[in-house]
Amino acid sequence: MGIIKIEDVQNKIVEIQGQKVLLDSDVAEIYKVETKRINEAVRNNPDKFPYGYIVELSKNEWDLLKSKFSTSKRGGKVKIPKAFSEKGLYMLATILKSQQAVQATLAIIETFSKMRKLTRNIKTLSNVKDKSEQKALMQRSGEMIAELLDDDLQTTDTETSIELNFAVLKFKHKIKKKNK
């Protein structure tokens, strides 16, 4: 049983109907079970998945999403998948009880949490006028970006530069880490 890394989860998150979600097949891969087991858990516990916990994709949304995938694994799927919102993933965690499920749930929770914090920081950054407060927010945001991109970032006293351009805001941050 391998350790689930945050970046493994983050790379699978897609946006559907304005929500960040994980498709049932990706959830199954993370939890190391078959997709039908994930969908079976939902079917057997309908009261645990009220509206908003699972996003139902339309055929057009699924076709558009499939066109973005480079692998046939997702693209060759016949049935339209279920898409789990963050709340749906938390609820699924109450049903799946294996050690792998616990690790996967922790990685999912951490990923969504970091993405929310980063979004809040970036929104706040565009409104802050105080230079020292801006610098502190940029520092925290840069650290979060580094964690999301690679939480096992290992360098030897060198600098990593991350530059993001958000329409109104250009964000540049240098990270200096030592070997772990």
Confirm whether 124 is domain-assigned: no
Domain that holds residue 37: 6-113
Confirm whether 84 is domain-assigned: yes
The closest alpha carbon to 118, from 86, 89, 90, 143, belongs to 143
* pLDDT for res 30: 83
0.85 exceeded by the pTM?
no
71 has a pLDDT exceeding 50: no
Read off the DSSP letter of residue 47.
G
Of the ranges 21-25, 70-74, 142-146, 165-169, which is most confident? 21-25
Confirm whether 160 is domain-assigned: no
Q: How many other CB atoms are there within 10 angstroms of residue 51's CB atom? A: 7
Confirm whether 173 is domain-assigned: no
154 has a pLDDT exceeding 70: no
How many domains does the chain divide into? 1
Confirm whether 10 is domain-assigned: yes
Residue with the larger pLDDT of the pair 63 and 164:
63
Confirm whether 88 is domain-assigned: yes
Confirm whether 42 is domain-assigned: yes
5 has a pLDDT exceeding 80: no
Confirm whether 129 is domain-assigned: no
Residue 19, helix vs strand vs coil? strand
